[in-house]
Structure 1
Amino acid sequence: MNLILWGIVLLGIYVQQSVSQKVQCYSEFSSGKCNDLLGEVEKNDCCMNPNYGYTEADGVCMYCGPPAWSEWSSWGKCSVSCTEGVMQRRRSCYGTGNCSDPEELGTVQTKPCGENVCCPVEGGWSEWGKWQPCSVTCEKGQKKRQRTCTNPVPQCGGSCSGEEEETTSCTTEIICPTHGGWSAWGSWGPCPSTCIVEGHNTPKELRKRTCTNPTPSTVPRGRDCADSDTDTRPCSGLPFCPVNGNWGAWSGFTPCSVTCGVGQQKHIRLCDSPTPKHGGKQCQGEEQKKGVCTIPVPCPVHGMWSEWGEWGQCRKKSTKEITCRTREGKRRRERDCEYRKHEGNFCVGEIVDHGSCYDIEGCRMEGVLSEWSEWSYCKPNCGPDSAQTRERKCVPDISQYSSKDIGMFSGKPKLNCKDLKKETNIRPCKNVPECKDEVIEQSPE
């Protein structure tokens, strides 16, 4: 085979591989789930609308839009029912590409929990009490006895295993009277008329029953049945014949439900040829049919704000010098409106943020030991080495400034920390789940 022929073959393979694969296209994507199936179309066509989702052969729901984090899930159950364990919550990144994570929060967070300070201790049963009197005064009945969960009393939510009550049969050797009971109602008798005369009462049909289920005893004398042995009701039904429904003709297809990307169109028919009457059957089958339609126009992609950039240099608001002084300056930071395409909406809000600041770049400042930080989440999220950390360190003494918000201070000062050293506390997290086949976030140093 010559080189030209090989080139044609390779080109054909490349063209086949570059064709967009077929996917199941959905008009709704929510928290990793696809809803409202539109039908099977090309992947590129489905994702002309960035709000859509799709599934491939593996059945996993994918998002057409730009990458974005889901909300954190609720905290799960504690890993143990008593003493100390951990609970976890998770989030997912949906969309095409990687989600920004400047604070390195990851996809799993773990923290300690404690349901009860102690674990349940089971109790023990006392001896059975005496049998109670028989439940009847004639023939056979039942009697029961009880015991208590007090030997010993359970602790911390414990209990006793078994029943606290025991029942057995008993007899009085006295004959009881038999009271009468109604038999089942007989069949309804025929209606005395085949139609209802206008202006007259509706004829009634009746049925009977007997006091033979059981028949009341004579010695000792039982009670007769209460209420009547006859029941009546109005005759029902009129001599109108039922008319079964039948479908009319199909209407034409409606316009496509969207103005861009993949949507649906349908046509309908009515059960009006004729309409069912007087109990006639409804039309069988579908009232409408749906079909997939494609408008070959990309849908708008609305803009999404990026994370704020770093603060810029702290600058003077007036002619007075602010470096190494307690006078406030001004600084700014920016963010970008990303992903906007095809006339999508611009991001709502300001692209530039301004804030007050103190310029301490290169300033000689006395150091003080900070307060202890909050305990961190448990790291790693699984395995026996998971632990929490907190720290305190040498920070600038800002007591002379009117604001004590350390975030307002711009620049790196020359700190006199003397003997103030960074301190770190570590405590282990207990009853952490075992690690499985997933990415493990690093433990604290």
Structure 2
Amino acid sequence: MNLILLGIVLLGIYVQQSVSQIVCYSAFLVSTGKCDDLLGQVEKDACCMNPNYGYTEANGVCRSCRPAAWTQWSSWGECSVSCTEGVRQRRRSCYGDDNCSDPENLGTVQTEPCVKKDCCPVEGGWSEWGKWQPCSVTCEKGLKKRLRTCSNPVPQCGGSCSGEEEEIVSCDTEIICPTHGGWSSWGGWGPCPVTCLVEGHNIQEERRKRTCTNPTPSTFPLGRDCEGSDTDTRPCSGLPFCPIDGNWGLWSGSTACSVTCGVGQQIQRRLCDSPKPSHGGRPCRGEEQKQGLCTIQAPCPIDGMWTEWSEWGSCRKPSTREIKCKQREGKRRRERDCDGRKYEGNFCEGDIVQHGNCYDIDGCSMDGVLSEWSKWSYCKPNCGPNSAQTRERKCVPNISEYRTKDLNIFSGKPKVDCSGLENQTERRPCKNVPECENSVDD
């Protein structure tokens, strides 16, 4: 009974250790979301001391050790149809140890209309067959052919006719041709007349033969015989020395750990030189090197990553002159933080503060006008028959008297008179959108 209890306790300890460990890889491929270069089973915290590493847990899904960040948008995929209007898509993924910020709600898929060809192919029709051409030979059997053209009607928009444009049949001239002789392939080399070479004796020769049977020359009408000899010789090659099989030497000491932080590898090597294989002997069996894991108990550098830009600050006057509700430019600023930098990782590249010109229209009474139509949106949803694009016009402050026509540099919330103006929205369906599988991908 005591032995059974001891076995249960040991099994529990083994299961607990297995659960706490992950499979560590020294590379996470952002282009594919896959792990590469297997290291082995270690604690997750040890593996992720290096943010460039990846790991898999019990579900087998590869995860990145880096702070969460979006990949670049992929290239646009193929159009969903080969002619007339369809859609194409591009994607991005979030890899890292958390969720990615998506303040603009862009999601993971974007869909837009596309046209590879304005029209679809229309098949053509064949003309009548032309006359048979002469036989291809002047004696015995040959071939003759006749042609037709894809012109009844002519195909449209890259179409074609189905079937062959030529017809080939055999023809017989009923005249016998002479057959000239041809050599068959050389036979195999015969055995050397000796099994070993005695030093100081002449080298023996080995022979091979061929026959004039490919084809055999005809007798009526008379064909020509083959030219050349039916026998070929060459010196016997020297007999080999006795083979010596290779054997491994001793393992070398382990190399230094391949990393300066986190989990890496150490390598031991051995040479096939005790003795080396020679004269056709077998090489050493087994591996020339073996690898083992090593851990440097030091956290790896983590590079900083920019946060999103903050909202623009208030528009301020650069001098003592009043700028509110005036056509006078002011200055404003916004900031972002270089977040997550640890252990002497790289600082973010670029500016932490951005300045810009502005006009202060906060609380100003302004006439409203309808804006220009916005650009057509991406197709939403990304699959199914109800996918569509939209664009809109909105009531915006009338800034026609200002030097700039860019509403983005106007600061504050004015009091806009939109009397008699209504926001407008247009919608148009997207065609040939892929069907949804399980759920709509936003």
Query: Residues of 2 paired with 1:417 and 1:104: CA distance?
Result: 29
Question: 1:218, CA displacement in angstroms?
Answer: 3.2
Question: 1:20, CA displacement in angstroms?
Answer: 5.6
* Map of 1:74 onto structure 2: 75
Query: Residues of 2 paired with 1:255 and 1:273: CA distance?
Result: 26
* Map of 2:425 onto structure 1: 424
Q: Rate the CA distance shift 1:303–1:221 in 2: closer, same or farther, 3 A.
A: same
1:127-138 equivalence runs, <5 A:
127-138=128-139
Question: 1:168, CA displacement in angstroms?
Answer: 2.3
User: Greater CA deviation, 294-303 or 231-240?
Assistant: 231-240
Output the amino acid matched with 2:93: S
1:26 aligns with 2:25: yes
* Map of 1:93 onto structure 2: 94
* Map of 1:284 onto structure 2: 285
What is the total number of aligned residue pairs between the two structures?
Answer: 426
8 Å CA contact retained: 2:381, 2:440? no
Q: Rate the CA distance shift 1:287–1:131 in 2: closer, same or farther, 3 A.
A: same
Question: 1:128, CA displacement in angstroms?
Answer: 2.9
Question: 1:19, CA displacement in angstroms?
Answer: 8.3
Question: 1:205, CA displacement in angstroms?
Answer: 5.5
Give percent identity, aligned residues only.
72
* Map of 2:305 onto structure 1: 304
Question: 1:411, CA displacement in angstroms?
Answer: 1.0
- Residues 154-183 of structure 1 show CA distances to partners (whole Å, capped at 9, x for unaligned) of 222332222232222222221111111102
Query: Residues of 1 paired with 2:17 and 2:381: CA distance?
Result: 41
* Map of 1:220 onto structure 2: 221
1:7-406 equivalence runs, <5 A:
21-31=20-30, 32-188=33-189, 190=192, 194=197, 207-231=208-232, 233=234, 235-237=236-238, 240-406=241-407
Question: 1:313, CA displacement in angstroms?
Answer: 0.7
Query: Residues of 1 paired with 2:60 and 2:18: CA distance?
Result: 20
Question: 1:308, CA displacement in angstroms?
Answer: 0.5
Query: Residues of 2 paired with 1:14 and 1:424: CA distance?
Result: 64
Output the amino acid matched with 1:81: S
Query: Residues of 1 paired with 2:78 and 2:346: CA distance?
Result: 41
Query: Residues of 2 paired with 1:18 and 1:421: CA distance?
Result: 66
Question: 1:240, CA displacement in angstroms?
Answer: 4.4
8 Å CA contact retained: 1:195, 1:238? no
Question: 1:233, CA displacement in angstroms?
Answer: 4.8
Query: Residues of 2 paired with 1:191 and 1:411: CA distance?
Result: 106
Query: Residues of 2 paired with 1:238 and 1:317: CA distance?
Result: 99
Output the amino acid matched with 2:305: M
Structure 1: gaps of 5 or more residues? 1-12
Query: Residues of 2 paired with 1:204 and 1:107: CA distance?
Result: 76
Question: 1:44, CA displacement in angstroms?
Answer: 2.7
8 Å CA contact retained: 1:89, 1:108? yes
* Map of 2:415 onto structure 1: 414
8 Å CA contact retained: 2:382, 2:440? no
Query: Residues of 2 paired with 1:166 and 1:402: CA distance?
Result: 76
Query: Residues of 2 paired with 1:365 and 1:227: CA distance?
Result: 107
Q: Rate the CA distance shift 1:65–1:412 in 2: closer, same or farther, 3 A.
A: same
Question: 1:38, CA displacement in angstroms?
Answer: 1.0
8 Å CA contact retained: 1:140, 1:172? yes
8 Å CA contact retained: 1:191, 1:205? yes
8 Å CA contact retained: 2:370, 2:394? yes
Question: 1:119, CA displacement in angstroms?
Answer: 2.2
Output the amino acid matched with 2:284: C
Question: 1:29, CA displacement in angstroms?
Answer: 0.8
* Map of 2:8 onto structure 1: none
User: Greater CA deviation, 91-100 or 115-124?
Assistant: 115-124
Query: Residues of 1 paired with 2:309 and 2:18: CA distance?
Result: 39
Q: Rate the CA distance shift 1:216–1:137 in 2: closer, same or farther, 3 A.
A: same
Give TM-score, length-normalised by structure 2. 0.87
Query: Residues of 1 paired with 2:350 and 2:188: CA distance?
Result: 78
- Residues 303-322 of structure 1 show CA distances to partners (whole Å, capped at 9, x for unaligned) of 11111110111112112222
8 Å CA contact retained: 1:195, 1:239? no
- Residues 224-265 of structure 1 show CA distances to partners (whole Å, capped at 9, x for unaligned) of 334554545565446544433221011122222122222111
Query: Residues of 1 paired with 2:420 and 2:234: CA distance?
Result: 101
User: Greater CA deviation, 220-229 or 352-361?
Assistant: 220-229
Query: Residues of 2 paired with 1:204 and 1:365: CA distance?
Result: 110
Query: Residues of 2 paired with 1:206 and 1:276: CA distance?
Result: 33
8 Å CA contact retained: 1:178, 1:214? yes
User: Greater CA deviation, 291-300 or 21-30?
Assistant: 291-300
Give TM-score, length-normalised by structure 1. 0.86
Q: Rate the CA distance shift 1:187–1:120 in 2: closer, same or farther, 3 A.
A: closer
Output the amino acid matched with 1:184: S
Question: 1:271, CA displacement in angstroms?
Answer: 1.1
Query: Residues of 1 paired with 2:15 and 2:96: CA distance?
Result: 26
Query: Residues of 1 paired with 2:379 and 2:356: CA distance?
Result: 34
- Residues 242-294 of structure 1 show CA distances to partners (whole Å, capped at 9, x for unaligned) of 43322101112222212222211121101111223344332222100112222
User: Greater CA deviation, 352-361 or 207-216?
Assistant: 207-216
Question: 1:389, CA displacement in angstroms?
Answer: 1.1
SS in 1 for 2:39: strand
- Residues 51-95 of structure 1 show CA distances to partners (whole Å, capped at 9, x for unaligned) of 111122332211111111111112122222222111111111111
Output the amino acid matched with 1:282: P
Structure 2: gaps of 5 or more residues? 1-11
Question: 1:195, CA displacement in angstroms?
Answer: 7.7
User: Greater CA deviation, 342-351 or 268-277?
Assistant: 342-351
Q: Rate the CA distance shift 1:41–1:245 in 2: closer, same or farther, 3 A.
A: same
User: Greater CA deviation, 13-22 or 368-377?
Assistant: 13-22
